[in-house]
Chains A and B, each alone.
Chain A
Amino acid sequence: MMQTIVKSIVFAATLAIAAPATAQKAGGTLIWGTTQVARHFNPAVQSGYATAMVGAQVFASPLRFDDKWNPQPYLAESWSFQDDGKSLLLKLVPNATFHDGKPVTSEDVAFSIMAIKANHPFSSMLAAVERVDTPSPTVAIIRMSQPHPAIFLALSPALCPIMPKHIFGDGADLKTHARNTTPIGSGPYKLAEFKPGEHIILEKNPAFFIKDRPKFDRIIVRIFRDSNALAVAIERKEIQFTPFWADLALLDRLSKTPGIATTDKGGDAIGPLNWLAFNTKKKPLDDARVRQAISFAIDREFITKKLHNGRSRIATGPIAPGAPFYSGAVEHYKVDLEKANRLLDQAGLKKGAGGVRASLSVDYLPGSNEQQKNVAEYLKPQLKKIGIEVTVRNAPDFPTWAKRVGAHDFDMTMDAVFNWGDPVIGVHRTYLSSNIRPGIIWSNTQSYSNPKVDDLLAKAAVERDPAKRKAEYQEFQKIVVGDAPIAYINVLPYFTIYEKNLRSLPTTIWGAMAPIDEMYRE
């Protein structure tokens, strides 16, 4: 504790000295706050922003993206499809080096892509990749078994860290590799120090291959036990930058603090959806009309306006609004209790003693009260209005919940699932009947099965024409929302809280899961 205090004072002093210099664009220290606990910083073997936001500073990736979903050159200065879209040629920048001074070559790219394919939890992300050819040190050709349009987003900083083969290719298991906590890459910052539960120190990479970047000399990521403690530190100006802030009650308080600004811009590719999933194998939820009735009974306006203080947006389907393949042409399930009651009558669920038609339980992902627990609790009085008695089942921790849902031992559960850029990466897994895999969380735990949907997703996964692909996803969204294996509630609100004098904030589609090499202090 004392050590932390002393460090804070030292940091503050550093800042005070650095202050006159910050009138210019470059230099200075950025103190970053988070409550996320990363075990390591290698996004090749681990999804989630705890790992990715630091991983994206240490590792560079072949591509990066702007705020409109357009791929931008990063380690690859240019790229082109060959062979009817079954090969992607990447031309690498010539001057990129790893933090140990060794050059980044196509060998490293080939090694990294195949290692990610073998180790990353998103198995569909690189499933089509067969091998990576390396005709020259600056040319890598990704060979695929079929056209795979998702390959672009799969080469993002959050998903495709290019690892030095001479360090990670030593034959040790990558999932538990010793260097995952002390990685070196070719990104804008070098990992200088990691004290689990305390802080992460990132030092500027002076040999970064993009000229005049990054702007800050140093980033210090301070790790906080909970959002309350972090909020106090933000109010005391000890923290200058906090991405992925989700606590809305505290956000209201923080947004009133002078000198501090908040924004929900950036991070569209994450597509975090908050939803109510049904176990479509359990009676009476095997009847689509019952699921539709429940969806019609949920007042999403009340949830987003009242429970989320107007800070979250309504979700209408499996793809988050703002994504290129999003379609709003689906049933919106505007709250309609009469219709819900009618649907239940048609499904043969008659009101019994005390007006009860059926009793169902609802689980929720522990950890987020506003998004998960409160919405689950809201369902209890709300579904009572249509004669469904709801029992809330709480789980003391994540593994308990994941075990229940993974084992399909639930009626309904609140859940939060991310799109992760391309639908192939984060959307297909929830709906493909081939992905009904008991024991695995965030697979098709709803046991939803519709041959038409399977067919559409299979086609869209290999469709090279964006317009045709969009049409296929449009139809997919219409069918899935109609079949209602899931009642979509809202998009999880992620805010960035920052000091007002910071400029060029990370507002691309990956938010702070991308290299923060342009941000500076004015």
Chain B
Amino acid sequence: MAETEARGPWREAWSVFKRNYAALVGLGILALVLTTAIAGPWIYPVDPFDIVGAPKTPPGTDADAVLGTDYLGRDMLAGLVRGGRPTLMVGFFAAMIATVIGITMGALGGYYGGKVDALLGRITEFFQVLPALLFAMVLVMLFTPSLVTVTFAIGFVAWTSMARLTRAEFLRIKQLEYVRAARAIGSSNGRIIWGVILPNALPPIIVAATLATGTAILFEAGLSFLGLSDPNMMSWGMMIGSNRNYLREMWWAVTFPGVCIFLTVLAISLVGDGLNDAFNPRLRTR
């Protein structure tokens, strides 16, 4: 066991993570999705907005559009290849915004306690009781639907659970001896919050942030389904949203992007679970 102790916490986590097959499968799918999102446009250089054939062509009937076409005659495959990038970008950046807001609110509240905590807690609760999807819809409608507004809207409604998690971690950690030690040697509040407590509170936050990415992708799909997406950016959610009126005539146009979203969110969940196990010392012996 001496060997294990010599390894850093991150390598330690990885050794646990890689024993979790489900998490590895998730990581594999995620890697594939990311590769397609980044390299896809070079591998399959068809503009997803180009009309390549007759509208509503079923898959496997036209060599120019193997996965069929949508209601305008646009290539489904091109849409799927290009649609991953905006979808993942919205998911990633929205989760990042949520995490930054959440950590800030939770850290300040948890560390300072008292009136600061009470105030920040009330603000968090205020956002928590608003129906998230409705609130995001209002935000997107107020400003015109675009990739940026959708990202901000999702980030702005999804931070509350992150704030509560961070606050709980801070409340726990600030009692620990090394924090007292830091205070005893005269470290500033800022240094204690960001330099001492936060790094030790990170593991559960990382897990939550990973899962938040999946949630954000679903949110984007939900908003797109309601027609609130950037019409100039082919995302999976937008493909579902704009094709859903023709669901009974063309199953493929919503099924394929739906499967893509499903697999991506599943992969992120599996990876998140794997990380949770890996970072949680009590489960380490499993």
Interface positions of B from 204 to 234, Cβ below 8 Å from A: 227-228, 231-232
A143 to B228, CA, bound (A): 53
A322 to B233, CA, bound (A): 40
- Contact yes or no, B47 A393, CB < 8 A: no
A139-158: contact bitstring with B at CB < 8 Å (1 yes, 0 no)? 00000000000000000000
- Contact yes or no, A378 B51, CB < 8 A: yes
- Contact yes or no, B245 A381, CB < 8 A: no
B44-56: contact bitstring with A at CB < 8 Å (1 yes, 0 no)? 0001011100110
- Contact yes or no, A394 B144, CB < 8 A: yes
21 contacts between A and B (CB under 8 A): A249-B245, A249-B249, A253-B248, A306-B54, A373-B242, A377-B231, A378-B51, A378-B72, A381-B74, A382-B51, A384-B49, A391-B232, A392-B231, A393-B144, A393-B231, A394-B145, A394-B231, A395-B144, A396-B144, A396-B145, A396-B228
- Which residues of A lie under 8 Å from residue B246 when comparing CB positions? 249
Which residue of A is nearest B71, CB measured? A374
Q: Is B141 an interface residue (CB 8 A)?
A: yes
Distance (whole angstroms) from the CB of A257 to the closest CB of chain B: 14
Q: Is B73 an interface residue (CB 8 A)?
A: yes
- Contact yes or no, A307 B55, CB < 8 A: yes
A373 to B231, CA, bound (A): 10
A238-252: contact bitstring with B at CB < 8 Å (1 yes, 0 no)? 000000000001000
Q: Given A307-B55, A391-B232, A396-B141, answer yes or no on A377-B72 (Cβ-Cβ < 8 Å).
A: yes
Q: Is A380 an interface residue (CB 8 A)?
A: yes
A373 to B47, CA, bound (A): 19
Distance (whole angstroms) from the CB of B232 to the closest CB of chain A: 5
A518 to B132, CA, bound (A): 53
The 7 closest A-B pairs by CB, nearest first: A392-B231, A396-B141, A381-B50, A381-B49, A381-B51, A394-B231, A380-B49
- Contact yes or no, B72 A307, CB < 8 A: yes
Interface positions of A from 249 to 308, Cβ below 8 Å from B: 249, 253, 306-307
Q: Is A501 an interface residue (CB 8 A)?
A: no
A380 to B50, CA, bound (A): 8
A306 to B145, CA, bound (A): 28
Q: Is A8 an interface residue (CB 8 A)?
A: no
- Which residues of A lie under 8 Å from residue B248 when comparing CB positions? 253
Distance (whole angstroms) from the CB of A416 to the closest CB of chain B: 18
A306 to B141, CA, bound (A): 31
**Of the residues A306, A373, A382, A395, contact of B55 by C-beta under 8 Å:** A306
Q: Is A123 an interface residue (CB 8 A)?
A: no
- Contact yes or no, B144 A306, CB < 8 A: no
Decide if the interface of chain B is mainly helix, strand, loop or mixed: loop
B112-140: contact bitstring with A at CB < 8 Å (1 yes, 0 no)? 00000000000000000000000000001
Number of chain B residues whose Cβ lies closer than 8 Å to a Cβ of chain A: 23
Q: Is A369 an interface residue (CB 8 A)?
A: yes
A506 to B50, CA, bound (A): 42
Q: Given A249-B249, A381-B51, A382-B51, answer yes or no on A306-B73 (Cβ-Cβ < 8 Å).
A: yes
A396 to B136, CA, bound (A): 14
A412 to B7, CA, bound (A): 63
A392 to B144, CA, bound (A): 11
- Contact yes or no, B245 A369, CB < 8 A: yes
- Which residues of A lie under 8 Å from residue B49 when comparing CB positions? 377, 380-381, 384
A249 to B140, CA, bound (A): 29
A393 to B230, CA, bound (A): 8
- Which residues of A lie under 8 Å from residue B55 when comparing CB positions? 306-307
Interface positions of B from 136 to 194, Cβ below 8 Å from A: 140-141, 144-145
A396 to B49, CA, bound (A): 22
A366 to B281, CA, bound (A): 54
- Which residues of B lie under 8 Å from residue A380 when comparing CB positions? 49, 232
Interface positions of A from 382 to 403, Cβ below 8 Å from B: 382, 384, 391-397
A392 to B230, CA, bound (A): 9
Distance (whole angstroms) from the CB of B101 to the closest CB of chain A: 25
- Which residues of A lie under 8 Å from residue B54 when comparing CB positions? 306
- Which residues of A lie under 8 Å from residue B242 when comparing CB positions? 373, 377
Which residue of B is nearest A299, CB measured? B51
- Which residues of B lie under 8 Å from residue A377 when comparing CB positions? 49, 72, 231, 242
Which residue of B is nearest A391, CB measured? B232
Distance (whole angstroms) from the CB of A311 to the closest CB of chain B: 14
- Which residues of A lie under 8 Å from residue B141 when comparing CB positions? 396-397
Distance (whole angstroms) from the CB of A360 to the closest CB of chain B: 12
A265 to B73, CA, bound (A): 30
A369 to B72, CA, bound (A): 11
Distance (whole angstroms) from the CB of B167 to the closest CB of chain A: 35
- Which residues of B lie under 8 Å from residue A393 when comparing CB positions? 144, 231
Other A-B contacts than A307-B72, A374-B71, A396-B141, 12 sampled, CB-CB below 8 A, are: A306-B55, A307-B71, A374-B72, A377-B231, A380-B232, A381-B50, A384-B50, A392-B232, A394-B227, A394-B231, A396-B140, A397-B141
A391 to B72, CA, bound (A): 16
Which residue of B is nearest A361, CB measured? B232
- Which residues of A lie under 8 Å from residue B249 when comparing CB positions? 249
Distance (whole angstroms) from the CB of A314 to the closest CB of chain B: 18
Distance (whole angstroms) from the CB of A365 to the closest CB of chain B: 14
A377 to B141, CA, bound (A): 20
Interface positions of B from 34 to 84, Cβ below 8 Å from A: 47, 49-51, 54-55, 71-74
- Which residues of B lie under 8 Å from residue A392 when comparing CB positions? 231-232
A307 to B232, CA, bound (A): 20
- Which residues of B lie under 8 Å from residue A253 when comparing CB positions? 248
- Which residues of A lie under 8 Å from residue B227 when comparing CB positions? 394, 396
Interface positions of A from 351 to 385, Cβ below 8 Å from B: 369, 373-374, 377-378, 380-382, 384
Distance (whole angstroms) from the CB of B16 to the closest CB of chain A: 47
- Which residues of B lie under 8 Å from residue A382 when comparing CB positions? 51
Which residue of A is nearest B229, CB measured? A394
Distance (whole angstroms) from the CB of A505 to the closest CB of chain B: 28
Which residue of B is nearest A307, CB measured? B55
- Which residues of A lie under 8 Å from residue B245 when comparing CB positions? 249, 369
A388 to B226, CA, bound (A): 29
Distance (whole angstroms) from the CB of B218 to the closest CB of chain A: 21
Interface positions of B from 9 to 55, Cβ below 8 Å from A: 47, 49-51, 54-55
A381 to B72, CA, bound (A): 10
A396 to B231, CA, bound (A): 12
Distance (whole angstroms) from the CB of A56 to the closest CB of chain B: 31
A396 to B145, CA, bound (A): 8
Distance (whole angstroms) from the CB of A241 to the closest CB of chain B: 24
Which residue of B is nearest A376, CB measured? B231
Which residue of B is nearest A247, CB measured? B245
Distance (whole angstroms) from the CB of A247 to the closest CB of chain B: 9
Which residue of A is nearest B231, CB measured? A392
Which residue of B is nearest A377, CB measured? B72
- Which residues of B lie under 8 Å from residue A397 when comparing CB positions? 141
A392 to B51, CA, bound (A): 16
Distance (whole angstroms) from the CB of B66 to the closest CB of chain A: 19
- Which residues of A lie under 8 Å from residue B74 when comparing CB positions? 381
- Which residues of A lie under 8 Å from residue B71 when comparing CB positions? 307, 374
Which residue of B is nearest A404, CB measured? B144
- Which residues of A lie under 8 Å from residue B51 when comparing CB positions? 378, 381-382
